[in-house]
Amino acid sequence: MKRLLLAATLASLAVTLVFALWVTPPRPNQGFDAVRLLYLHVPTAWIAYLAFGVTALASVLWLVPRTRDTTWDLLAGASAEVGVVFTGLTLILGSLWGRPAWGTWWEWDARLTTTAILFFLYLGYLALRRTGSTADERGKRSAIAAVIAFADVPISYLSVTWWQTLHQQGTVFNADRHVLIDGSMAFTLIAAVVSFTLLYGYLVLERFQLAQLEEGREERELERAIEERLRAEQVEVVPA
């Protein structure tokens, strides 16, 4: 399955690349090719939201006693790691777009600011995952932090609607319900979103499997340490 997912990911990325670079036209009213960043910027933002949504959902499932399982905790961590990478890419690509479009690399715009906050919130979440003496302690702290941090996702997404910002309204989903893209550009954007979603799935699967291996290693090391401690205590109680 993993090989099939990788093949589908590479094929869809190749199609997106061809259409983004050679098929779609430049933006008519601006006359520069920076619009091609749209096919990277929008999917990376979508993946960031998706990844943090999966992290929040997996965290809730871990917090509920009936569904509590280490799998959810590991999935939450794996998805958050991928989400942080894509959020960072979103900020970088947004800056690259902002320079020719707005004449500046960065503005304390509502969308940019809330996205930067989201990036640092989940960096803190990943740091928190490294604390706690037991898996249960780590899981509880991390799950609560993930659910709280996710509150910034809808704020970031709706910021262009709630406040007056430099950032444009949604290209597809906006308050006016007017799709601002069509033709080959619409197809390329859809292909980009699909290909990046497949890429997200593959990366999360890889990281999740690695986390399982790491978890198993930690359990074995803990068991070995307990056995050594018990052996040492038995030696101590034996009379000289």
Q: Can you tell me the mean pLDDT for 150-179?
A: 73
Whether the CB-CB separation of 76 and 58 falls below 8 Å is answered with yes
What span, in angstroms and rounded, lies between the C-alpha atoms of 197 and 28?
29
Whether the CB-CB separation of 202 and 9 falls below 8 Å is answered with yes
Cα torsion 139, 141, 147, 148 to 10°: value is -170
Q: Can you tell me the mean pLDDT for 219-240?
A: 59
Looking at every residue in the chain, the average pLDDT score rounds to 85
Kindly report the length of the chain. 240
Residue type, 156: S
pLDDT greater than 90 at residue 108: no
Q: Where are the domains of the chain?
A: 2-208
Question: Which residues have C-beta within 8 Å of that of residue 227, sequence separation ≥ 6?
Answer: none
pLDDT greater than 90 at residue 98: no
CATH classification code of 2-208:
1.20.120
Structure pTM? Answer: 0.85
